């Protein structure tokens, strides 16, 4: 099996950690690996395939000559010698210490030299014995904080972006499906519910009794450690990423019941079990029963049918009212990826994208889109080489020329304009007036007070040229919390004046998230599901946004880019 993008990203993150503990002098080197890991996690192209086809890796954002060579090495040999060298130089537990907030490489060095601390357990012991506070620069308060952080770390096991484990999940699925005696293989759990992050993978297999599928599972080449192993279940930890995978093998006749149980969520299962009890039924992973009589269990439909409910799609199974809606025959008709007629947010080489306007257009057309809005950055965002009014004017001409040469697909003239700290926009109104679509976004001053940040966003929305607010909360999953915002006011305002809010499909953003998307549509806010693609491949990320929308009970009518260009144009002009 080829290495997955998620594994390559994990390797670069580990290398960055090790360099940091070693006290690497050059911060750019560390950042280069971290940035590469981030880009690779968000990539919708398989790096191993790109290497096999000898494609140019350096065309990818943030990947230079040296990183491209390292990626090839990992793909071709399954390992990275540099990482192994640094691993030998740095004791394993030492890098772990970096996960403790407030402990930088310098402090870790001191702990090691003066107290012989080599890992988290050493550190915990030293803190409990009061030895830390005797070190200069530590003190009793720091010692207490460190203890608290260690406890928090124990509770908060690492979660993975769903998107970054997708390749591995699919590889394991097809591997298991090929084993003798195996019928069905489904990756259940939070993965099947399309949660933005997953704690582990739960794979359910139906197989003939005494099949050797669980042996085959633990023998898979990506398995690093076997936590437990029997005929009907096994748990493993995977190489590079440390991702845990649980396997369950059940007979065909229990497939539906087991699938329902292991899909969860736990809250959904508990709510359904309570309903069952009230009706004198019993439900578990083997089936649904009245007394000793088994009423069903082969399919999920059969289980819901016992309650007089239609099948509930996994994205809704969070005990957020889906059971009541199903009973009342009021489940939403959820949006699907196919409902999306075009994409309203992407970048080209004019700013920080890696593909030209022509390439982006071709790729969007190949996906079956009817239109694609080109929304490069405005100049305030200097890190992305944002465009000033003249550059936007040139791009407008280029898009007009493209549209004049092509039929059956339309490029929309757009921009992702920066919202300045006082809520003004970064381009003059007369420039914005020449565009088909204006996407506005906050990229700076994340630390403003709630009042100021809210006013800033409301003021930007009040500009009648603005159609969409991109990634409205600014959160980056696992990296940066949302900025402080009175989101209810923002939703009410958006509904009132007809500004759409984005569901950004970048796996690290998914912003609005599922719950906010639902709150938005309940208030009558229109949404845009956008890829924010920075390369042709990233246009495919739209499916992650569509899945979040489904988790937020969103229907096609709530989403502006489920409309044809003719209808969308009317809507945009009515602002």
- The footprint of ligand DGT (CB under 6 A) covers 189-190, 195, 198-200, 202, 261-262, 264-266, 269-270
The crossing angle, in degrees rounded to 10, of helices 27-41 and 5-22 is 160
Instruction: Give residues 117-176 in contact with Ca ion (rule: CB under 5 A).
Output: none
Binding flag, residue 246, Ca ion (CB under 5 A)? yes
CB of 273 to ligand DGT, least distance (A): 7
Q: Which of 6, 42, 105, 189 binds Ca ion (CB under 5 A)?
A: 189
Q: Which of 17, 96, 202, 300 binds Ca ion (CB under 5 A)?
A: 202
Q: What is the Cα–Cα distance from 41 to 538, expressed in whole angstroms?
A: 11
Do residues 509 and 532 touch, judged by C-beta distance below 8 A?
A: yes
CB of 68 to ligand DGT, least distance (A): 33
β-strand partners of 446 = none
In degrees rounded to 5, what are phi and psi of residue 261? Answer: -60, -50
Q: What is the Cα–Cα distance from 132 to 111, expressed in whole angstroms?
A: 8
- Measured on CA atoms in the order 174, 178, 184, 187, is the torsion positive or negative? negative
CB of 285 to ligand DGT, least distance (A): 8
In degrees rounded to 5, what are phi and psi of residue 523? Answer: -90, 0
Q: Which is nearer to ligand DGT, 245 or 384 (CB)?
A: 245
Q: What is the Cα–Cα distance from 444 to 234, expressed in whole angstroms?
A: 47
Q: Which is nearer to Ca ion, 14 or 190 (CB)?
A: 190
CB of 269 to ligand DGT, least distance (A): 4
Angle, vertex CA 292, rays to CA 290 and CA 294, nearest 5: 65
Which partner in Ca ion, ligand DGT, none is near 264 (CB below 5 to 8 A by kind)? Answer: ligand DGT
Q: Which is nearer to ligand DGT, 165 or 461 (CB)?
A: 165
Which partner in Ca ion, ligand DGT, none is near 196 (CB below 5 to 8 A by kind)? Answer: none
The label of the residue with tokens 């990229």 reads 443
CB of 534 to ligand DGT, least distance (A): 28
Which partner in ligand DGT, Ca ion, none is near 124 (CB below 5 to 8 A by kind)? Answer: none
CB of 186 to ligand DGT, least distance (A): 12
Q: What is the Cα–Cα distance from 59 to 455, expressed in whole angstroms?
A: 40
Quick one: residue 186, left, alpha or beta (phi over 0 = left, psi -120 to 50 = alpha)? Answer: beta
Do residues 31 and 13 touch, judged by C-beta distance below 8 A?
A: no
Which partner in Ca ion, ligand DGT, none is near 270 (CB below 5 to 8 A by kind)? Answer: ligand DGT
Q: Which is nearer to Ca ion, 246 or 532 (CB)?
A: 246
Do residues 168 and 482 touch, judged by C-beta distance below 8 A?
A: no
Q: Which is nearer to Ca ion, 246 or 315 (CB)?
A: 246
Binding flag, residue 200, Ca ion (CB under 5 A)? yes
CB of 245 to Ca ion, least distance (A): 8
Which partner in Ca ion, ligand DGT, none is near 269 (CB below 5 to 8 A by kind)? Answer: ligand DGT
3-state secondary structure 396-416: HHHHHHHHHHCCCCEEEEEEE
Do residues 203 and 246 touch, judged by C-beta distance below 8 A?
A: yes
Q: Which is nearer to ligand DGT, 195 or 493 (CB)?
A: 195
Do residues 467 and 437 touch, judged by C-beta distance below 8 A?
A: yes
Q: Which is nearer to ligand DGT, 187 or 461 (CB)?
A: 187
Q: Which is nearer to Ca ion, 189 or 414 (CB)?
A: 189
CB of 161 to ligand DGT, least distance (A): 11
CB of 156 to ligand DGT, least distance (A): 12
The crossing angle, in degrees rounded to 10, of helices 81-89 and 5-22 is 40
Given the rule CB under 5 A, which of 162-170, 243-251, 433-441, 539-547 is the region that contacts Ca ion? Answer: 243-251
3-state secondary structure 476-503: ECCCECCCCCCHHHHHHHHHHHCCEEEE
Q: Which is nearer to ligand DGT, 265 or 336 (CB)?
A: 265
Q: Which is nearer to ligand DGT, 31 or 266 (CB)?
A: 266
Which partner in ligand DGT, Ca ion, none is near 164 (CB below 5 to 8 A by kind)? Answer: none
Q: What is the Cα–Cα distance from 267 to 276, expressed in whole angstroms?
A: 14
Applying CB under 5 A, which residues contact Ca ion?
189-190, 200, 202, 246
């Amino acid at each position: 099996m080829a290495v997955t993008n998620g594994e390559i990203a994990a390797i670069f993150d580990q290398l960055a950690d090790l360099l940091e503990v070693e006290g690497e002098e050059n911060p750019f080197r560390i950042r280069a690996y971290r940035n590469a890991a981030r880009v690779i996690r968000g990539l919708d192209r398989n790096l191993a395939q790109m290497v096999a086809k000898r494609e140019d890796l350096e065309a990818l954002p943030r990947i230079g000559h040296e990183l491209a060579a390292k990626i090839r090495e990992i793909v071709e040999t399954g390992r990275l010698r540099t990482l192994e060298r640094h691993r030998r130089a740095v004791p394993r537990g030492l890098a772990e210490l970096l996960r403790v907030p407030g402990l930088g490489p310098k402090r870790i060095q001191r702990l090691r030299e003066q107290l012989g601390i080599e890992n988290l357990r050493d550190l915990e012991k030293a803190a409990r014995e009061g030895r830390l506070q005797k070190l200069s620069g530590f003190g009793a308060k720091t010692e207490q904080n460190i203890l608290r952080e260690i406890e928090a770390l124990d509770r908060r096991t690492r979660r993975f972006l769903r998107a970054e484990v997708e390749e591995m999940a699919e590889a394991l699925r097809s591997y298991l499906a090929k084993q003798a005696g195996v019928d069905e293989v489904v990756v259940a759990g939070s993965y099947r519910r399309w949660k933005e992050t997953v704690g582990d993978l739960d794979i359910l297999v139906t197989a003939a009794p005494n099949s050797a599928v669980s042996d085959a599972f633990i023998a898979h080449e990506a398995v690093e450690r076997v936590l437990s192993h029997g005929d009907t279940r096994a748990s493993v930890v995977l190489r590079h990423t440390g991702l845990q995978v649980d396997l369950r093998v059940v007979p065909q006749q229990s497939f539906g019941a087991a699938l329902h149980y292991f899909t969860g969520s736990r809250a959904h299962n508990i709510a359904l079990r309570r309903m069952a009890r009230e009706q004198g039924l019993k439900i578990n992973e083997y089936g649904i029963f009245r007394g000793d009589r088994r009423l069903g269990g082969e399919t999920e439909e059969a289980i819901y049918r016992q309650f007089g409910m239609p099948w509930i799609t996994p994205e809704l199974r969070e005990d957020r009212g889906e059971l009541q809606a199903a009973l009342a025959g009021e489940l939403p008709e959820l949006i699907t990826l196919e409902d999306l007629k075009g994409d309203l947010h992407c970048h080209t080489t004019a700013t920080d994208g890696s593909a030209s306007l022509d390439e982006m257009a071709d790729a969007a057309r190949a996906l079956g889109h009817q239109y694609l809005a080109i929304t490069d950055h405005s100049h305030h965002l200097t890190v992305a080489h944002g465009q000033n009014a003249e550059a936007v004017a040139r791009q407008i001409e280029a898009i007009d020329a493209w549209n004049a040469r092509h039929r059956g697909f339309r490029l929309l003239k757009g921009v992702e304009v920066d919202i300045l700290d006082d809520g003004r926009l970064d381009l003059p109104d007369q420039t914005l007036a020449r565009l088909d679509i204006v996407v506005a976004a906050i990229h700076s001053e994340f630390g403003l007070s709630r009042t100021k940040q809210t006013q800033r966003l409301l003021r930007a929305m009040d500009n009648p040229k603005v159609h969409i607010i991109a990634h409205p909360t600014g959160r980056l999953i696992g990296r940066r919390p949302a900025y402080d915002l009175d989101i209810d006011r923002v939703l009410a305002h958006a509904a009132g004046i007809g500004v759409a809010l984005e569901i950004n499909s970048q796996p690290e953003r998914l912003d609005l998230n599922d719950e906010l998307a639902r709150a938005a549509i309940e208030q009558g806010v229109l949404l845009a599901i956008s890829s924010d693609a920075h390369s042709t491949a990233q246009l495919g990320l739209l499916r992650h946004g569509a899945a979040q929308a489904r988790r937020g009970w969103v229907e096609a009518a709530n989403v502006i880019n489920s409309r044809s260009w003719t209808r969308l144009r009317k809507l945009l002009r009515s602002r």
